Structures are given as structure tokens and as C-alpha cells.
Amino acid sequence: MRLGAVADDVTGACDLAGRVVEAGLPATVLLGTSSKAPDAFAADGPGCAVVALKIRTAPVAEAVAAATDAARLLRAAGATQLYQKYCSTFDSTAHGNIGPVADALAGVAAADGTAVTVGTPATPGSGRTQYQGTLFVDGVPLAESPMRDHPLTPMRDSDLVRLLRPQTGRTVGLVRWQEVQRGSDAIASAVGDGHTLVDALTEADLVAIARAVLALAEERPVVAGGGAGVATALARAAAGPSGGTPASTLPAVPVTGRVILAGSASAATRGQIAAFPGERLVLDPLELAAGPSALDRVRDALAARADRLAPVLIHASPEVAAAQRALGAERAATLLEDAIATLAAFAVHELGVSHLLVAGGETSGAVTATLGIDRLRIGSQAAPGVPWAVADSAGRTVAVLLKSGNFGGPGLFTDAWEAAP
Ligand SMILES: Nc1ncnc2c1ncn2[C@@H]1O[C@H](COP(=O)(O)OP(=O)(O)O)[C@@H](O)[C@H]1O
Ligand SMILES: O=C(O)[C@@H](O)C(=O)COP(=O)(O)O
């Protein structure tokens, strides 16, 4: 199998690729669709290529167009199984973009409308489970988890069918956990036309779903999808006997500087910021809106540091509600994302920093775009779903760890460097 995944943000792409590599399948992440990628898959044999987009909160038409291009690019590069990677916390709005992108990928898999989609956000290794169609985050229903107050996609319902239905004109079905316990044949028979969400509480459930996808794909076009969980189970099935042997080693990147850039306001990132013992610099969107001096101050402080090898943390102010009231959610987010991306480019290209740890999906998308990175070579994980990668930025080799806001333990900003290339 050649798994071709379209991810709605870059940290989601890294999450999927990191776990797939650990499961034994080589993986590449392509940033956007501008780079034509006939070599996206390893020369021979099974593999995985992920196109990382920044479409989670984009206007629906833009998201659909980008996802369609990405799926076509993957098919042209040799993908045999398409995968829609969305967030394990189902980050979306009433209009999209999970439903519209699912419709679009089904359209690429079969132009005659016969393709179905099957999947689940459940990723039990990261505490995401689905039971009776309800999504749980560390045992708490989604709408009662910290995702309730996400700055861009506040999740106020936990029922996945109810969330997905308004986003698509196709039918939305549910395969309940009791059916999943009857095995992959039962799951495959319960899959309807349109989009089917399947309950999963354990890795064994994901294996059964992956087997059902593979069996269905023998009969009709299927797009698999969800969090990284089902993709990892598919990768294990495809890796066969080599499964369990991580499929990538990265070249060493000489350490000339370490910078942490955190634009995420998620609970795990807040914990990591609180636990970080080193020097820190704060970016406040209200100050950024007032003029260039706030960014200049942080840039000067970064340049003035004597010890570039000791990681420095630059993080967004935690006062989200006040900034959004004053500026609007989109403007506040854009100010922060632009400032963080500018600082990343300054660190790499003016200060010669070799290692960047970026927290937040939208934030990472802004950083990789400004650095002009079009491909990530994926290596080993510093934490589940958080792999190191090596990239080229305008002729300079950088090691980057692009972290989902919600992933990693409290000590990640201190510990992650041990696993770095
Ligand atoms: N204090 C703040 N005020 C307004 N927006 C903020 C603030 N802190 C962070 N944000 C924005 O919230 C968004 C967080 O999204 P993202 O980077 O994807 O993180 P996560 O991975 O946690 O979802 C970013 O666009 C960021 O700029
Ligand atoms: O599935 C997940 O939880 C992650 O892979 C993911 O999509 C990350 O999104 P952000 O939390 O916005 O980084």
C-alpha cells in the first residue's frame, strides 16, 4: 500500500507521519501542493506521503480546492489509498472543513460518486476515544474538554454525527462499538454510502477498522480518514514483517541554536510553557497591533542572547479572550502567527539557529510558509505524534519539531532536544 494523506494542518501531518514511520513505513511530508512530487514515495515498495495544508479554518471553497489538488497530486505520485487527516479533536466549524473535504476526496477517489469514507478521530494512544458516536478527550466528552475554549475552533458539541451532518450533503452513518467488537467483516458490512464514523476505544479496534478499510477497498473506492490512529493501523498492516522497526533515520544537524516558538493556547502547551525553566519572551497581540516596537523588542532580545544553545521560549500571551474582544479572533491570530513566523526566519537566517520547536498547528503552518520549507524528512518522535524532522530553508538545513498544541508532556520543551537529529 502507498498511503497518500491530505492533512488539514502541518502538525497533523507530522503527527500522522511520525506514527507511521514508527510503525515501519517510510513517510514524507510535503508542504502544500506547489512542489510537484513524483518522488513523494520511496522508490519501491510501500510508503506514505502526506500533503500538509493549512485549511482547517480556511473558507470552505479554498479548503476544498486545496484538498482536491493535494489528493490529485498524491494519486499522480502513486498513492493507492487516500487518507483524510483531520484533528483527533474534530476541530471544525458548522460549515466545515471536515465534511466538505471528505466530499472532495471521495470525488477524487471516484468521479462517479461511488466512493465512501470511513474513519474515526479516535487515537487511543493520545487519549482520544469514540464511543456511541461521542468523542472523548482523556475520558472527558469533547465539549467539556479544554477544546471547548479553543481560540479558532471552539468545540461545543461532542456528538460526531451531529457535528458532521451540517457539513455535508452526503449521509453520515455511525458504526457502534458493539459492532466493532464483532470484527472487520461486521464493520465493513455496516459501512453505508456517504461518510461513516466508527467507534474505537483501543488499538485493537483501530486494527479492525483498518482491516475493514482494506477489505472494502477491494470492492469499491474508499477514502480512510480521521486522526492519526487509523493511519497508523493501516501502516502496520502495510509494513508487514518489518513493522515495529522505525523506518527513518535523519542526518545529524549540528546544533548552532535552539528556539521554541509557542503560538498555541491549548492546555498541553500551557502546561509546557509553565514548566519551562529557561529564558522566555512574551508576544502580546494587543502590543503587536499597536506598532512594530513589540516585535522589535523580542527580536533584539533574541539577538542579544549570549548562549544560543540554551533553548529560549517565545510564547503568545495567555490572555486570549481580552485580545479577541479588542481585535477579533482572526486579526489577533494573524498578528501572532505573522510575528512568530518573522522571528523564526530571523532566528534561522540572521542568527544561524539550527533547531526550532514550534507549538501549534496554525502557528507551524505560518512558520514553515515563511521559511519556504516545502518538504519535511520525518524522523523519530520526541513524544507520541511529535516527530523531529529535517528540512531545507533557502539553502540552510534546519531541524524542526512541529507540535500539535495538545500533544506532549509538561517537560517537552526541556526533553525534546534529546531526540533531536
Ligand atoms: N493571546 C492570544 N490571543 C488571540 N489569539 C491567540 C492568543 N494566543 C494564541 N492565539 C492564536 O490561537 C491560534 C492557536 O492555534 P494553533 O497554532 O493551531 O494551536 P493549537 O495547535 O493549540 O490549535 C493561533 O492562531 C494563535 O495565533
Ligand atoms: O490529530 C491531532 O490531534 C493532531 O494531529 C492535530 O491535528 C493537531 O492539530 P493542532 O492541535 O491544531 O496542532
pLDDT in tens, 362-389: 999 999 999 999 999 999 999 999 999 9
- What residues are in contact with ligand 1 under a 6 Å CB criterion? 11, 151-152, 263-266, 269, 285, 316-317, 319-320, 323-324, 332-333, 336-337, 360-363, 404-405
Is pLDDT of 42 > 80? no
Q: Per mean pLDDT, which range of 122-126, 247-251, 411-415 is the poorest?
A: 247-251
Which ligand 1 atom is at minimum distance from the Cα of 11? Answer: 21
Say yes or no to pLDDT of 35 above 70. Answer: no
pLDDT at 246 over 90: no
Reduced to 3 states (helix: H, G, I; strand: E, B; else coil), residue 402 is strand
Quote the CA–CA distance of 14 and 16 in Å, as a whole number: 5
* Cα-to-centroid distance, 16 and ligand 2 (Å): 10
Query: Which residues in 227-374 belong to E strands, given as ranges?
Result: 258-262, 280-283, 312-316, 355-359
pLDDT digits (tens, 9 = 90+) for 86-106: 999 999 988 889 999 999 999
pLDDT recorded at residue 17: 96
pLDDT in tens, 156-187: 999 999 999 999 999 999 999 999 999 999 99
**Mean of pLDDT over the chain:** 94
Class of domain 258-419: alpha beta
- Which of 190-195's residues contact partners 24+ apart within 8 Å by CB, and which partners? 191/116, 191/118, 191/216, 192/116, 193/116, 194/116, 194/117, 194/168, 194/170, 195/99, 195/102, 195/116, 195/117, 195/164, 195/168, 195/170, 195/171
Q: What was the ipTM of the complex prediction?
A: 0.98
Q: What is the DSSP letter of 369?
A: H
Confidence label for 45 from pLDDT (cuts 50, 70 and 90):
confident
> What pLDDT score does 34 carry?
65
Is pLDDT of 44 > 80? no
Across 123-130, average pLDDT: 96
Q: What's the pLDDT at 396?
A: 97
Q: How confident is the model at residue 243 (pLDDT cuts 50, 70, 90)?
A: low
Cis peptide before 406 (omega within 30 of 0): no
CA of 229 to the centre of ligand 1 (A): 25
All structural domains of the chain with their residue ranges? 2-242, 258-419
CATH number, domain 2-242: 3.40.50.10840
pTM of the model: 0.95
